[in-house]
Amino acid sequence: MAIHNPDLAKEVLSNKFGHFEKVKFPPLSRLLAAGLAEHEGEKWVKHRRILNPAFHLEKLKLMLPALSTSCEELVNRWTRSLGSDGTYELDVFPEFQRLTGDVISRTAFGSNYLEGARVFQLQSEQVERIAGAWKIGIPGYLSLPTKNNRKMHQNNSEIESILHGLIGKRMQAMQEGENTKEDLLSLMLESNMRTSDDNGQFISGMTIKEVLEECKLFYLAGTETTSILLTWTMIVLSMHPEWQDRAREEVISLFGKKQT
């Protein structure tokens, strides 16, 4: 069953989470990420409640400077690549993967693209390897100790090692009382460090393992979905120059030529 109506989708996701099961994926595919996307029932509710404040409108507005910085770096890099005739041809998809990865690193985890670059590279490789393994169609193949499957386990170990380092540095800063950002990572770690709510009631936050899996999920899902959308947007705009002109006019009318 597929639901396209926004109101019905909201009803299912908000109030009927226990009535609909998610698609079950092979165990090895969880090497990509085993976070919110695969949780169900009360566990899904707990994680959603912890993560949700990071996406409130006021928090999103605070992300605009980081978004602007990442976009400026992209535009400057493209500008430096222009030839003597003012033109340059490039594949925009990896460029947008880098852009979205940089934005996610800055806004969700308080780092930068260089710190997360290896994670993005390994996650992209994991997607290709798992997609290739699925095509074989032999029952139990993903559980066999093949060269491909062993490499996926190695990649996952390296990803988790990098993220453990990122998490460890943030936890140390929080424990030492530093004024850390209220980003996605801080919200998850705060839930791990708190044992009671404002009313003194015991609460169960995320474990470090769960924090790790959510980090993997947001690194993966955030970059792939947005970079694909941006790439197709560029393709469609190039196919319809009149739309491109209208979009440019709207941006200039709102921000002026100097800021664009």
Any idea where the domains of the chain sit in the sequence?
33-73+91-255
What was the pLDDT predicted at 57? 85
What was the pLDDT predicted at 28? 63
| Region label for 60, one of left (φ > 0), alpha (ψ between -120 and 50) or beta (otherwise) | alpha
* CB crowding 110-132: b at 16 or more within 10 Å, else e: bbbbebbeebbebbbebeebbee
Distance CA(88)–CA(178), nearest Å, equals: 45
What was the pLDDT predicted at 91? 93
Instruction: Tell me which residue of 232, 192, 231 sits closest to 215, measured CA to CA.
Output: 192
What was the pLDDT predicted at 60? 83
Please name the CATH architecture into which domain 33-73+91-255 falls: Orthogonal Bundle (1.10)
Q: What is the pTM of this model?
A: 0.75
Distance CA(191)–CA(182), nearest Å, equals: 12
What was the pLDDT predicted at 189? 83
Q: State percent of the chain over pLDDT 90.
A: 20
Distance CA(201)–CA(22), nearest Å, equals: 31
Per-10-residue mean pLDDT, the chain, length 260: 83 68 68 78 82 82 87 92 88 91 83 74 86 78 84 92 88 78 78 63 76 86 87 94 94 78
Instruction: Tell me which residue of 181, 207, 230, 205 sits closest to 54, measured CA to CA.
Output: 181
Cβ-proximal residues to 127 (8 Å cutoff; 6+ apart), any chain: 32, 220, 224
